[in-house]
Amino acid sequence: MSDTHAQSVAFVRDTMLPEQAPPASEAGVVKWMRENLFPGPVNTILTLLAIYFIYKIVAGSLPWFWNGIWTTSSLAECREILQGATGGCFSVLTERWNQLLFGFKYPSDQYWRPLVAFILLAVAVAPVLFAHLPRKMLLFTGIYPFLAFWLIWGGTILSPLMVLIGVLAGLAAFRRIEASGFAMAALAGLVTAVVIWWLGGFLASAASGVLALEAVPSRDMGGFMLNMILGTVCVSLSLPIGILLALGRQSHMPIIKWICVVFIEFIRGVPLITLLFVANVVLSYFFPPETNLDLIIRVIIMITAFASAYIAEVVRGGLAALPRGQYEAADSLGLDYAQSMRLIILPQALKISIPGIVNVAVGLFKDTTLVSVISMFDLVGMIRGPILASTEWNGVYWELWGFAVLTFFVVCYGISQYSQWLERQLQRDHR
């Protein structure tokens, strides 16, 4: 008897049938459209409506971009070329490009300086933002503020150099005495730094020609550069100050606690624009004429105070979200206050606070445009004031404001994308 059933079965398929293509209505574009765009009567109507609106927007704006004119020197010329056809007059962007970026008073042969500072900014913040970069790059980050100051404001390199040396000497003094008590060490560090700054002031004014770039006064800063300066400086200053305020608010020492509470509540209770008016208008009454504190510094102080109060509250939220056990665990390990905060509490609290902090940072960056109200010429101030008030460009709106929108969107969207990436990196699975 045979082992096979060759005789008992009429036909046995011994090869696989090739796969059939799915029916046309269940494959490819058609299927995707059916599932995603037209799954039911309501969605079908919504899809058609959306397509209609998209068509209207594109049909309306495309000729405007397409016929855009980039090379004329005034709005009147644009209109002459267009002869009534729809078209943007983007020439205002090309003609006033430098003014939009740097303001109208920054010396035009020195534009490379803010540009270099901007490129170096990317190098300086990279190690702070991306933990896998070599830690030695942080050295450059430490030097960067002084370098950037020298590049943007000009003058002799001695003044930022002396400030840097003062900071380093103060730090060294602090380290040396740290063992015998925090307060003494902090005082010693401060005194050392101040003495060196004071001496350095004489040195810098005596030898004002050493490696000097052409000095540019603060009043001449403007355009998007001003927004970047205010945004970067204020965010980086307000983060540490905000953390300190948040910790201070949780402190058991009543004086520190109350100072922090009063500061935070007062600053949060006042609109930013009021603070800016105070910086611009009221402070100049208190100083004798000629001893004006630089307007940019006044504004930086006010915006930083404002942002740090908000960041303090965000961080406090993070601190409050930590289970009490974490604090007790730190204590039971025998860590002192500074160690427990640095090693256990803050890393967790800050991780929780990231979305809130980024929110404040993005808001702060956009709020820097408010300085246009106190007659500083940031990007918005440039558009509102000099450019729209010039006889050539009086009447150009969409092009200019569109440009401002685009610029701010790029920066803010970048910040928010980074923060989402960071959150994924720090994910330690509490789910």
Partner 1 sequence: MKKSVFLGALTVAGLTAGAAAAATLDDVKARGKLNCGVTTGLVGFAAPDANGNWEGFDVGVCRAVAAAVLGDPMAVEFVPTTGKTRFTALASGEIDMLARNTTWTFSRDVDLKFEFVGINYYDGQGFMVPKALGVSSAKELDGATVCIQTGTTTELNLADFFRTNNISYEPVPIETNAEAQPLYLEGACDVYTTDASGLAATRAAFENPGDHIILPEIISKEPLGPLVRHGDNEWGDVVRWSLNALIAAEELGVTSANVDELAQGTNNPEINRLLGTEGTLGEMLGLDADWAARAIKAVGNYGEVFEKNIGENTPIGLARGLNAQWTDGGLLYSPPFR
Binding residues for partner 1, rule: CB under 8 A, are 75-76, 79, 95-96, 99, 104-105, 108, 219, 277, 280-281, 284-285, 287-290, 292, 373-375, 377, 381, 384-392, 394-395, 397
User: Tokens at residue 28, please?
Assistant: 């490819």
CB of 343 to partner 1, least distance (A): 43
Looking at the Cβ atoms of 227 and 280, the one nearer to partner 1 is 280
**Cα separation, 196 vs 170, whole angstroms:** 9
* Residue 105 near residue 219, CB atoms below 8 Å: yes
- From the list 150, 151, 134, 145, the residue with the least C-alpha distance to 167 is 145
Looking at the Cβ atoms of 113 and 316, the one nearer to partner 1 is 113
Instruction: Return the axis-axis angle of helices 223-249 and 295-321, rounded to nearest 10°.
Output: 40
Looking at the Cβ atoms of 55 and 397, the one nearer to partner 1 is 397
CB of 209 to partner 1, least distance (A): 20
Give 175-180's long-range contacts (Cβ < 8 A, gap of 24+).
none
- The dihedral region occupied by 74, where left means phi > 0, alpha psi between -120 and 50, and beta the remainder, is beta
CB of 87 to partner 1, least distance (A): 12
Amino acid 359 reads N
Burial of 300 (0-12, 13-18, 19+ CB in 10 A): middle
Looking at the Cβ atoms of 250 and 390, the one nearer to partner 1 is 390
Looking at the Cβ atoms of 261 and 373, the one nearer to partner 1 is 373
Looking at the Cβ atoms of 19 and 290, the one nearer to partner 1 is 290
CB of 413 to partner 1, least distance (A): 26
CB of 389 to partner 1, least distance (A): 3
CB of 399 to partner 1, least distance (A): 12
Please give the helix or strand (H or E) that residue 362 lies within, else none.
Answer: helix 346-367
Q: Please give the angle made by the CA atoms of 199, 164 and 342, to the nearest 5 degrees.
A: 130
CB of 216 to partner 1, least distance (A): 12
CB of 218 to partner 1, least distance (A): 13
DSSP character for 378? B
Angstrom distances, CA of residue 278 to CA of 232, 272, 283, 285, 360? 22, 10, 6, 10, 22
Looking at the Cβ atoms of 85 and 211, the one nearer to partner 1 is 85
CB of 212 to partner 1, least distance (A): 20
* Residue 309 near residue 242, CB atoms below 8 Å: yes
Angstrom distances, CA of residue 133 to CA of 130, 138, 184, 417, 427? 6, 9, 36, 19, 19
Looking at the Cβ atoms of 26 and 80, the one nearer to partner 1 is 80
Q: Which residue has the tokens 């401060």?
A: 190
Looking at the Cβ atoms of 102 and 310, the one nearer to partner 1 is 102
E strand segments, 36-173: none
User: Tokens at residue 328, please?
Assistant: 């007790």
Number of residues that this document lists for the chain = 431
Q: Which residue has the tokens 């030097």?
A: 143
